[in-house]
Amino acid sequence: MLDAFGQPQSVVVLGGTSDLAGAIVEALVRRRCRTVVLAGRDDQRLGAAATAATATGAQHVSTVRFDALDIAGAVATVDDAFDAAGAADLVLLAVGVLSHERDELDPERTAEVVTATYSWPATALTRAAARLREQGYGRIVVLSSVAAMRVRRQNFVYASAKAGLDAFSIGLSEALRGTGVAVQIVRPGRVPTKMTEGLPSAPMSSTPGAVADAVMAGLESGAPVIWVPPAARWAMGLARLVPQALWRRIPG
Protein backbone atom coordinates (compact mmCIF):
# COMPACT_ATOMS: atom_id res chain seq x y z
CA MET A 1 0.00 0.00 0.00
CA LEU A 2 0.98 3.66 -0.37
CA ASP A 3 1.60 5.51 2.87
CA ALA A 4 0.59 9.08 3.68
CA PHE A 5 3.78 10.32 1.99
CA GLY A 6 2.95 8.50 -1.25
CA GLN A 7 5.69 5.94 -0.63
CA PRO A 8 5.00 2.57 -2.28
CA GLN A 9 5.72 -0.87 -0.85
CA SER A 10 5.76 -2.48 -4.29
CA VAL A 11 6.84 -1.14 -7.67
CA VAL A 12 6.55 -2.41 -11.24
CA VAL A 13 9.23 -0.87 -13.44
CA LEU A 14 8.69 -0.95 -17.18
CA GLY A 15 12.16 -0.27 -18.54
CA GLY A 16 13.83 -1.58 -15.42
CA THR A 17 17.36 -1.66 -16.82
CA SER A 18 17.68 2.07 -17.42
CA ASP A 19 20.05 4.09 -15.26
CA LEU A 20 17.26 6.44 -14.21
CA ALA A 21 15.01 3.56 -13.18
CA GLY A 22 17.89 2.07 -11.19
CA ALA A 23 18.41 5.28 -9.23
CA ILE A 24 14.68 5.67 -8.53
CA VAL A 25 14.29 2.04 -7.43
CA GLU A 26 17.22 2.44 -5.06
CA ALA A 27 15.62 5.51 -3.46
CA LEU A 28 12.23 3.76 -3.18
CA VAL A 29 13.73 0.69 -1.52
CA ARG A 30 15.55 2.86 1.01
CA ARG A 31 12.16 4.20 2.16
CA ARG A 32 9.35 1.62 2.08
CA CYS A 33 9.52 -0.47 -1.07
CA ARG A 34 9.94 -4.24 -0.53
CA THR A 35 8.70 -5.75 -3.78
CA VAL A 36 10.38 -4.80 -7.05
CA VAL A 37 9.42 -6.18 -10.46
CA LEU A 38 11.79 -5.14 -13.24
CA ALA A 39 10.71 -5.51 -16.85
CA GLY A 40 13.39 -5.05 -19.51
CA ARG A 41 14.83 -6.33 -22.77
CA ASP A 42 18.34 -7.44 -21.94
CA ASP A 43 18.67 -10.49 -19.67
CA GLN A 44 22.12 -9.58 -18.48
CA ARG A 45 21.17 -6.01 -17.58
CA LEU A 46 17.96 -7.21 -15.94
CA GLY A 47 20.03 -9.54 -13.78
CA ALA A 48 22.36 -6.71 -12.79
CA ALA A 49 19.45 -4.38 -11.96
CA ALA A 50 17.80 -7.13 -9.88
CA THR A 51 21.04 -7.74 -7.99
CA ALA A 52 21.34 -4.03 -7.28
CA ALA A 53 17.74 -3.84 -5.97
CA THR A 54 18.35 -6.84 -3.71
CA ALA A 55 21.59 -5.34 -2.44
CA THR A 56 19.75 -2.13 -1.50
CA GLY A 57 17.35 -4.19 0.62
CA ALA A 58 14.37 -5.19 -1.54
CA GLN A 59 12.88 -8.43 -0.22
CA HIS A 60 11.11 -9.71 -3.33
CA VAL A 61 12.73 -8.96 -6.67
CA SER A 62 11.63 -10.51 -9.95
CA THR A 63 12.18 -9.80 -13.62
CA VAL A 64 10.03 -9.92 -16.75
CA ARG A 65 11.47 -9.86 -20.27
CA PHE A 66 9.90 -7.79 -23.02
CA ASP A 67 10.72 -6.11 -26.29
CA ALA A 68 9.43 -2.57 -26.71
CA LEU A 69 9.07 -3.15 -30.45
CA ASP A 70 6.52 -5.89 -29.78
CA ILE A 71 3.32 -3.95 -29.24
CA ALA A 72 1.22 -7.10 -29.29
CA GLY A 73 3.15 -8.35 -26.24
CA ALA A 74 2.65 -5.20 -24.13
CA VAL A 75 -0.51 -6.36 -22.36
CA ALA A 76 0.98 -9.72 -21.43
CA THR A 77 4.14 -8.01 -20.16
CA VAL A 78 2.14 -5.72 -17.87
CA ASP A 79 0.01 -8.62 -16.65
CA ASP A 80 3.06 -10.75 -15.92
CA ALA A 81 4.66 -7.91 -14.01
CA PHE A 82 1.51 -7.22 -11.95
CA ASP A 83 1.07 -10.90 -11.17
CA ALA A 84 4.69 -11.10 -10.01
CA ALA A 85 4.17 -8.05 -7.76
CA GLY A 86 0.91 -9.26 -6.21
CA ALA A 87 -0.36 -5.69 -6.13
CA ALA A 88 1.49 -2.76 -7.65
CA ASP A 89 1.46 0.40 -5.55
CA LEU A 90 3.54 2.21 -8.17
CA VAL A 91 4.11 1.68 -11.88
CA LEU A 92 7.21 3.42 -13.17
CA LEU A 93 7.50 3.78 -16.93
CA ALA A 94 11.06 4.35 -18.13
CA VAL A 95 10.99 3.02 -21.68
CA GLY A 96 12.38 4.84 -24.68
CA VAL A 97 14.97 4.84 -27.44
CA LEU A 98 16.96 7.95 -28.28
CA SER A 99 17.29 9.02 -31.91
CA HIS A 100 20.25 10.78 -33.53
CA GLU A 101 20.79 13.08 -36.48
CA ARG A 102 22.14 10.17 -38.48
CA ASP A 103 18.76 8.40 -38.15
CA GLU A 104 16.63 11.18 -39.52
CA LEU A 105 16.32 9.84 -43.06
CA ASP A 106 15.89 6.19 -42.03
CA PRO A 107 12.18 5.25 -42.01
CA GLU A 108 12.75 1.94 -40.23
CA ARG A 109 14.71 3.59 -37.46
CA THR A 110 11.98 6.22 -37.10
CA ALA A 111 9.39 3.49 -36.73
CA GLU A 112 11.51 1.79 -34.07
CA VAL A 113 12.04 4.94 -32.04
CA VAL A 114 8.38 5.91 -32.19
CA THR A 115 7.25 2.39 -31.32
CA ALA A 116 9.57 1.98 -28.35
CA THR A 117 9.15 5.53 -27.06
CA TYR A 118 5.45 6.12 -27.70
CA SER A 119 3.37 3.22 -29.01
CA TRP A 120 4.54 0.48 -26.67
CA PRO A 121 4.51 2.70 -23.57
CA ALA A 122 1.02 4.04 -24.39
CA THR A 123 -0.27 0.51 -24.85
CA ALA A 124 1.37 -0.71 -21.64
CA LEU A 125 0.13 2.29 -19.65
CA THR A 126 -3.42 1.66 -20.81
CA ARG A 127 -3.21 -1.90 -19.48
CA ALA A 128 -1.48 -0.81 -16.26
CA ALA A 129 -4.21 1.79 -15.67
CA ALA A 130 -6.86 -0.92 -16.00
CA ARG A 131 -5.05 -3.14 -13.49
CA LEU A 132 -4.67 -0.27 -11.02
CA ARG A 133 -8.35 0.65 -11.36
CA GLU A 134 -9.21 -2.90 -10.40
CA GLN A 135 -7.00 -2.56 -7.33
CA GLY A 136 -8.77 0.66 -6.37
CA TYR A 137 -5.57 2.62 -5.84
CA GLY A 138 -2.06 3.19 -7.20
CA ARG A 139 0.29 5.63 -8.84
CA ILE A 140 1.81 5.79 -12.29
CA VAL A 141 5.04 7.74 -12.81
CA VAL A 142 5.92 8.37 -16.45
CA LEU A 143 9.42 9.47 -17.41
CA SER A 144 8.99 12.10 -20.09
CA SER A 145 11.69 14.63 -21.02
CA VAL A 146 12.23 18.38 -21.26
CA ALA A 147 13.18 17.63 -24.88
CA ALA A 148 9.48 16.91 -25.49
CA MET A 149 8.58 20.50 -24.60
CA ARG A 150 10.26 22.03 -27.63
CA VAL A 151 11.54 19.71 -30.31
CA ARG A 152 15.07 20.22 -31.67
CA ARG A 153 16.51 18.84 -34.84
CA GLN A 154 19.19 16.71 -33.14
CA ASN A 155 16.73 14.20 -31.67
CA PHE A 156 13.35 15.21 -33.06
CA VAL A 157 12.09 11.71 -33.66
CA TYR A 158 12.65 10.76 -30.03
CA ALA A 159 11.47 14.14 -28.74
CA SER A 160 8.26 14.01 -30.78
CA ALA A 161 7.50 10.53 -29.49
CA LYS A 162 8.12 11.71 -25.90
CA ALA A 163 5.87 14.71 -26.61
CA GLY A 164 3.18 12.25 -27.64
CA LEU A 165 3.70 10.17 -24.51
CA ASP A 166 3.67 13.28 -22.32
CA ALA A 167 0.35 14.39 -23.82
CA PHE A 168 -1.00 10.86 -23.54
CA SER A 169 -0.07 10.77 -19.85
CA ILE A 170 -1.83 14.05 -19.15
CA GLY A 171 -4.94 12.67 -20.81
CA LEU A 172 -4.66 9.41 -18.89
CA SER A 173 -4.32 11.32 -15.66
CA GLU A 174 -7.60 13.12 -16.39
CA ALA A 175 -9.30 9.88 -17.37
CA LEU A 176 -8.31 8.34 -14.03
CA ARG A 177 -9.63 11.12 -11.80
CA GLY A 178 -11.85 9.75 -9.07
CA THR A 179 -10.62 6.18 -9.45
CA GLY A 180 -7.96 6.31 -6.74
CA VAL A 181 -5.23 6.04 -9.40
CA ALA A 182 -2.98 9.04 -10.06
CA VAL A 183 -0.50 9.76 -12.85
CA GLN A 184 2.61 11.87 -12.38
CA ILE A 185 4.87 12.98 -15.22
CA VAL A 186 8.60 13.52 -14.74
CA ARG A 187 10.32 15.89 -17.18
CA PRO A 188 14.06 15.65 -16.59
CA GLY A 189 16.67 17.62 -18.47
CA ARG A 190 19.22 15.56 -20.32
CA VAL A 191 20.71 13.05 -17.95
CA PRO A 192 24.14 11.65 -18.85
CA THR A 193 23.39 7.90 -18.97
CA LYS A 194 23.98 4.92 -21.23
CA MET A 195 21.36 6.38 -23.56
CA THR A 196 23.24 9.65 -24.10
CA GLU A 197 26.77 8.29 -24.28
CA GLY A 198 28.86 10.13 -26.87
CA LEU A 199 26.63 13.21 -26.92
CA PRO A 200 27.96 16.62 -25.89
CA SER A 201 26.71 17.87 -22.52
CA ALA A 202 23.56 19.95 -22.72
CA PRO A 203 22.08 22.85 -20.77
CA MET A 204 19.37 21.90 -18.27
CA SER A 205 21.11 18.61 -17.64
CA SER A 206 20.57 16.55 -14.54
CA THR A 207 21.83 13.37 -12.87
CA PRO A 208 20.09 10.06 -12.09
CA GLY A 209 20.43 10.89 -8.37
CA ALA A 210 18.77 14.29 -8.81
CA VAL A 211 15.94 12.71 -10.81
CA ALA A 212 15.44 10.07 -8.09
CA ASP A 213 15.35 12.76 -5.37
CA ALA A 214 12.85 14.77 -7.38
CA VAL A 215 10.64 11.70 -7.91
CA MET A 216 10.69 10.95 -4.17
CA ALA A 217 9.67 14.53 -3.37
CA GLY A 218 7.06 14.36 -6.12
CA LEU A 219 5.51 11.19 -4.72
CA GLU A 220 5.12 13.03 -1.43
CA SER A 221 3.69 16.24 -2.89
CA GLY A 222 1.57 14.53 -5.54
CA ALA A 223 2.63 17.18 -8.09
CA PRO A 224 1.17 16.27 -11.52
CA VAL A 225 4.41 17.31 -13.26
CA ILE A 226 7.88 16.96 -11.77
CA TRP A 227 10.59 19.08 -13.45
CA VAL A 228 14.26 18.20 -12.92
CA PRO A 229 15.94 20.57 -12.34
CA PRO A 230 12.98 22.65 -11.15
CA ALA A 231 14.21 25.67 -13.13
CA ALA A 232 13.61 23.69 -16.35
CA ARG A 233 9.92 24.49 -15.90
CA TRP A 234 10.52 28.21 -16.45
CA ALA A 235 13.25 27.73 -19.06
CA MET A 236 11.05 25.48 -21.18
CA GLY A 237 8.10 27.83 -20.71
CA LEU A 238 10.23 30.53 -22.33
CA ALA A 239 11.69 28.18 -24.94
CA ARG A 240 8.23 27.50 -26.29
CA LEU A 241 7.81 31.19 -27.08
CA VAL A 242 11.05 31.53 -29.03
CA PRO A 243 10.51 31.81 -32.83
CA GLN A 244 11.78 28.79 -34.76
CA ALA A 245 14.30 30.92 -36.66
CA LEU A 246 15.93 31.85 -33.39
CA TRP A 247 15.45 28.46 -31.70
CA ARG A 248 17.40 26.79 -34.50
CA ARG A 249 20.45 28.95 -33.66
CA ILE A 250 20.52 28.29 -29.95
CA PRO A 251 23.27 25.75 -29.34
CA GLY A 252 22.66 22.65 -27.21
Partner 1 sequence: MPDTSLAPAQRLLTGWGRADATRGLVWTPRRGEEIAELLANLESAAVIPRGLGRSYGDAAQSAGGTIVDTTLLDHVGCVDANGEVEVSAGTSLDTLVRRMLPQGWFLPVTPGTRQVTVGGAIAADVHGKNHHADGSFARHVTAMTVATPTGVHRVAPTRDPDLFWATAGGMGLTGIVTSARLRMLAVSTDRMLVDTDRFADLDAVMTAMEEGDARYRYSVAWVDCSGKAGRTRPGGGLGPGAGRAVLTRGDHASLDDVPAPQLRRAAVAAARVPRPHLRVPRHVPGGLLNRLSIAAFNETWFRRAPTHRTQELQSMWKFFHPLDGVAEWNRLYGPLGFLQYQFAVPPGRGDVVHTAIQTLSSHRIPAFLAVLKRFGPSSPGPLSFPMPGWTLALDVPIGPDGVGRCLDRLDEVVAEAGGRVYLAKDSRLRPDVVPIMYPRLEELRAVRRRVDPRGILRSDLARRLDLC
Q: What's the CA gap between 134 and 179, in Å, rounded?
A: 9
Binding test (CB under 8 A) with partner 1, winner from 7, 35, 145, 206: 7
Quick one: 46 or 183, whose CB is closer to partner 1? 183
- CA dist list (Å): 71 to 1, 60, 114, 167, 219: 30, 28, 11, 19, 29
Contacts of 245 (CB under 8 A, 6+ apart): none
Quick one: 89 or 103, whose CB is closer to partner 1? 89
Among 120, 158, 168, 227, the one annotated catalytic? 158
Per-residue buried b or exposed e for 131-159, using 16+ beta carbons within 10 Å of the residue's own CB = bbeeeeebbbbbbbbbbbbbbeebbbbbb
117 counts as binding partner 1 under rule CB under 8 A: no
158 an active-site residue?
yes
Q: What's the CA gap between 21 and 17, in Å, rounded?
A: 7
Stretch of residues binding partner 1 (CB under 8 A), selected from 75-83, 213-221, 234-242, 243-251: 213-221
Binding test (CB under 8 A) with partner 1, winner from 130, 170, 220, 239: 220
Residue 156 Cβ, how far from partner 1 at the closest point, in Å?
A: 37
Stretch of residues binding partner 1 (CB under 8 A), selected from 46-54, 102-110, 197-205, 219-227: 219-227
| Active-site residue list | 158
